């Protein structure tokens, strides 16, 4: 499912150990809309969605909306440089014999035995390891549920599709004067503004005007991790869903926006992507 946004100029960078939305220093940003409530201490915004879903104001481990947060392999509960004492593949792969998460490859992936074709959980194809025919992350493997508690969980494909189809989506390369790129998802003020995607300077199509004091969430272009490297780009990113890919069990479904379009796609389960939790 793809919807194209207007083309714009981008600058991409590949960095190791640093991010474009890094939390090195805390800056005072201009005021933005307040959250509508909290679930177990974590803020959410009610965008008026038919499902009743309420979306987190920030990614897991991000101090605020403009930050990327941390990166998780699909179905793992710990991110880069955190210690996972239940991931024996990571321990065996790490040359320093440590439980610290340092690599995003199948050889160190928790739900595989050191290889992409030896999956130990979430698999429907005998050519790729043990078969359990599980297609959706269990709560025990859902990083949002385990780290945030309450009713938080990793979104499904339908959750992301609803978010995009029921809201006004604005691309920006400079969220709240922070020079952080991403999409602003507004609660529509008018039915005519639902399922509309605009560039930040193009407001001619809208039935109402919008600014950052209106109810919204910001989803930054957070990049991804492969092996021990962090790749950051204004347009390349991926967010995990809680669903396994139905074509190849080594992949899981993702939500992304890249090169002026967003889509539901898939990515290798061992790679590190960000998570934007959702609750009821």
Query: CA 245 to CA 135: how far, in whole Å?
Result: 8
Question: By residue range, what is the domain housing residue 181?
Answer: 1-11+33-280
The answer to whether residue 23 is domain-embedded is no
- Name the pTM for this structure: 0.86
Query: CA 39 to CA 186: how far, in whole Å?
Result: 21
In this predicted model, what pLDDT tens digit does every residue of 35-46 receive, in sequence order?
A: 999 999 999 999
Quick count: other Cβ atoms within 10 Å of Cβ 94?
A: 17
The string of DSSP letters for the chain reads -EEEPPP----EEEESS--TT--SS---PPP-PPPSEEETTEEEE----TT--EEESS-TT-SSTTS----B-TT-S--TT-B-TT-HHHHHH-TT---B---BSGGG-TTBSSSTT-B-SS---GGGB------B--GGG-HHHHHH-TT-BPPPHHHHHHHHHHSEEEEESSGGGS---EEEEEPPSSGGGTTEEEETT--TT-SS---TTSSEEEEE--BEEEBTEEEEESS-B-EEEEEE-SS-TTEEEEEEEETTEEEEEEEETTSBBB---EE-
The answer to whether residue 160 is domain-embedded is yes
The total number of structural domains in the chain stands at 1
The answer to whether residue 237 is domain-embedded is yes
The answer to whether residue 273 is domain-embedded is yes
The tokens for 42 are: 């974590």
In this predicted model, what pLDDT tens digit does every residue of 129-160 receive, in sequence order?
A: 999 999 999 999 999 999 999 999 999 999 99
The tokens for 247 are: 């074509």
Q: What is the pLDDT along the chain (280 residues), one digit of tens a residue?
A: 444 333 333 333 344 333 456 554 455 566 788 999 999 999 999 999 999 999 999 999 999 999 999 999 999 999 887 767 676 665 566 666 667 788 899 999 999 998 999 999 999 999 999 999 999 999 999 999 999 999 999 999 999 999 999 999 998 989 999 999 999 999 999 999 998 888 765 666 687 889 999 999 999 999 999 998 999 877 678 999 999 999 999 999 999 986 446 799 999 999 999 999 999 9
Query: CA 43 to CA 57: how far, in whole Å?
Result: 6
Tell me which residue has tokens 């950052």. Answer: 212
Contacts with 57 (C-beta within 8 Å, 6 or more apart), sequence order? 35, 43, 44, 45, 64, 65, 217
- What pairs with residue 38 in β-bridges? 43
Cβ distance 256 to 242 under 8 Å?
Answer: no
Rg for the chain, CA atoms, rounded: 19
The answer to whether residue 212 is domain-embedded is yes
The tokens for 159 are: 């959750």
Contacts with 45 (C-beta within 8 Å, 6 or more apart), sequence order? 33, 35, 36, 54, 55, 57, 187, 215, 216, 217
The answer to whether residue 26 is domain-embedded is no
Query: CA 123 to CA 143: how far, in whole Å?
Result: 19
Contacts with 90 (C-beta within 8 Å, 6 or more apart), sequence order? 84, 99, 101, 102, 103, 108, 109, 110
The tokens for 128 are: 């790729």
The answer to whether residue 241 is domain-embedded is yes
The answer to whether residue 22 is domain-embedded is no
Query: CA 183 to CA 219: how far, in whole Å?
Result: 5
């Amino acid at each position: 499912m793809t919807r194209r946004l207007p083309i714009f100029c981008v600058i991409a960078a590949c960095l190791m150990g640093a991010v474009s939305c890094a939390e090195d220093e805390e800056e005072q940003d201009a005021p933005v809309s307040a959250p509508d409530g909290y679930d177990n201490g974590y803020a959410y915004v009610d965008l008026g969605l038919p499902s009743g879903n309420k979306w987190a104001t920030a990614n897991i481990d991000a101090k605020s909306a403009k930050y990327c947060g941390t990166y998780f392999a699909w179905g793992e509960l710990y991110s880069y440089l955190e210690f996972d004492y239940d991931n024996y593949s990571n321990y065996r792969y790490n040359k320093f014999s440590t439980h610290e998460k340092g690599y995003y490859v199948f050889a160190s992936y928790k739900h595989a035995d050191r290889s992409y074709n030896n999956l130990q959980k979430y698999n429907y194809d005998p050519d790729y390891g043990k078969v359990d025919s599980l297609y959706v992350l269990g709560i025990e493997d859902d990083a949002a549920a385990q780290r945030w508690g309450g009713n938080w969980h990793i979104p499904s494909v339908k959750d992301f599709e609803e978010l995009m189809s029921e809201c006004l989506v604005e691309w920006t390369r400079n969220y709240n004067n922070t020079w952080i790129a991403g999409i602003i998802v507004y609660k529509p003020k008018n039915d005519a503004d639902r399922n509309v995607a605009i560039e930040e300077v193009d407001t001619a199509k809208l039935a109402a005007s919008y600014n950052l004091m209106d109810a919204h969430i910001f989803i930054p272009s957070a990049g991804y991790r492969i092996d021990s490297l962090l790749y950051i780009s204004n347009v390349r990113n991926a967010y995990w869903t809680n669903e396994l890919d139905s074509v190849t069990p080594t992949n899981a479904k993702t939500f992304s926006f890249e090169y002026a379009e967003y889509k539901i796609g898939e990515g290798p389960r061992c790679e590190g992507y960000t998570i934007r939790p959702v609750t009821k």
